[in-house]
Amino acid sequence: MNRRNFLKTSMAIAATATVSGAGHVFASSPTSGLIYSAQDEGKWQGKNGSHAPVIHVNGNEVHIITKHGMSEKHYIVRHTLVGADGIVLGAQTFSPTDQPTSTYTLPAGYKGKLTATSFCNIHDFWITETNI
């Protein structure tokens, strides 16, 4: 195969991979199968009630709760609170003897999207979003 044919063939393969990748790898959204939520439980059907973090906002305080049991073998590892534009506003790492609740103070006057994340050592990474 000469250089010109090699380049043509390579470009055709790359174009095919790009088009088919859009349809097969990301069936519903780019995060499907990586990040779970009440709206997208993916392979963890029926688990959102015990894994999607619940957000309570009280003034400039945000409480995150995951309604999940805690044991050595199965527990919530970490919460984070992420603001608009991906700014991490706080994080809490848990041990199996902790309760999966965390509290954060928002910057003064904060308005906009908040994303709570909760990671289970068995059932992966879950998010809940809200706007304030």
Which positions ≥6 away from 38 have C-beta within 8 Å? Answer: 48, 52, 128
Q: Which is nearer to Fe ion, 75 or 104 (CB)?
A: 75
Residue 59 phi/psi, 5-degree rounding, is 65, -125
CB of 60 to Fe ion, least distance (A): 30
CB of 44 to Fe ion, least distance (A): 8
Element (H, E) at 8: helix 3-24
Per CB under 5 A, which of residues 90..129 are in contact with Fe ion?
120, 122-123
Cα–Cα distances (Å) from 111 to 19, 68, 108, 127, in that order, read: 38, 29, 9, 19
Residue 101 phi/psi, 5-degree rounding, is -130, 145
CB of 74 to Fe ion, least distance (A): 6
Q: Which is nearer to Fe ion, 95 or 131 (CB)?
A: 95
Q: Which is nearer to Fe ion, 25 or 122 (CB)?
A: 122
CB of 26 to Fe ion, least distance (A): 25
Sites of contact with Fe ion (CB under 5 A): 120, 122-123
